[in-house]
């Protein structure tokens, strides 16, 4: 199957209302350009995390950063679902994303997962402004990750993250994933999740 050349602008969302362009341009590729992410760029991404909103300013997020070619990177791959393992090795950077479950090891931090999501949203838009793509992954054996990476009991690895530049060669993917990469983006209409005055 002959595939067209593709860049990030081919996947711009067709929104019902005008939104900030970096939001409509963002998508989650499964193939990345063969280009390293520099240490400075990684610091920029995590600085965006650092200044994210956080309940009571607790900043419960924690990350394990790995680069392609390292044993730690391969260990992250081994913790991912079989589906994610089909494509993720072409990413230059893999990250395990977690959070601290309690405050002072006593009180449950009910909002910790919410804060983790907020900070990754910040990182996503910062990355988009740098032409860097993020692919957030829920397909992860977190228990295995805890064991392999010796995660303390008071913390929980929730997701994994692939980081790389847009513009990878789609033919590097298995055929079924090539089709997904080229598929039209679709989302539920607002009427399915925004209810006025009461629940539906």
pLDDT, one tens digit per residue, over 14-28 is 999 999 999 999 999
Q: Where are the domains of the chain?
A: 29-181
Looking at the chain, the whole-number percentage of residues with pLDDT higher than 70 is 96
Tokens of 135: 């692919």
Looking at the chain, the whole-number percentage of residues with pLDDT higher than 90 is 89
CA dihedral sign, ordered 27, 51, 76, 160: negative
The CA–CA distances, whole Å, from 152 to 94, 97, 107, 128 equal 20, 14, 17, 32
Q: How confident is the model at residue 8 (pLDDT cuts 50, 70, 90)?
A: low
pLDDT at 7: 59
The CA–CA distances, whole Å, from 6 to 29, 106, 127, 169, 178 equal 11, 50, 19, 9, 11
Whether the per-residue pLDDT at 1 is higher than 50: the answer is no
Cα–Cα distance between 115 and 49 in angstroms, integer? 10
Whether the per-residue pLDDT at 6 is higher than 60: the answer is no
pLDDT, averaged across the chain:
94
29-181: CATH topology: NADH Oxidase (3.40.109)
pLDDT, one tens digit per residue, over 22-60 is 999 999 999 999 999 999 999 999 999 999 999 999 999
The CA–CA distances, whole Å, from 166 to 90, 94, 119, 200 equal 12, 15, 21, 39
Q: Which helix (H) or strand (E) holds 102?
A: strand 102-103
Whether the per-residue pLDDT at 11 is higher than 90: the answer is no
pLDDT at 19: 95
Rounded mean pLDDT of 3-21?
78
pLDDT at 97: 98
CB-based contacts of 181: which residues, under 8 Å, 6+ apart?
A: 6, 29, 30, 31, 170, 173
Q: How confident is the model at residue 9 (pLDDT cuts 50, 70, 90)?
A: low
Whether the per-residue pLDDT at 2 is higher than 60: the answer is no
pLDDT, one tens digit per residue, over 90-111 is 999 999 999 999 998 779 999 9
């Amino acid at each position: 199957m002959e595939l067209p050349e593709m860049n990030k602008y081919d996947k711009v969302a067709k929104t019902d209302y005008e939104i900030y362009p970096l939001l409509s341009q963002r998508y989650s590729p499964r193939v990345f350009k063969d280009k390293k992410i520099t240490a400075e760029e990684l610091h920029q991404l995590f600085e965006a995390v650092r200044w994210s909103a956080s309940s009571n300013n607790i900043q419960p997020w924690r990350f394990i950063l790995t680069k392609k070619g390292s044993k730690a990177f391969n260990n992250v791959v081994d913790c991912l679902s079989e589906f994610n393992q089909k494509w993720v090795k072409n990413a230059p950077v893999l990250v395990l994303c977690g959070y601290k479950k309690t405050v002072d090891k006593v009180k449950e931090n009910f909002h910790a997962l919410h804060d983790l999501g907020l900070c990754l949203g910040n990182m996503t838009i910062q990355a988009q402004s740098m032409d860097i793509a993020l692919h957030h992954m829920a397909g992860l054996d977190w228990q295995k990750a805890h064991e392999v990476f010796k995660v303390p009991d008071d913390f929980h690895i929730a997701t994994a993250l692939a980081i790389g530049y847009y513009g990878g060669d789609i033919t590097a993917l298995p055929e079924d994933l090539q089709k997904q990469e080229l598929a039209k983006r679709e989302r539920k209409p607002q009427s399915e999740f925004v209810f006025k005055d009461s629940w539906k």
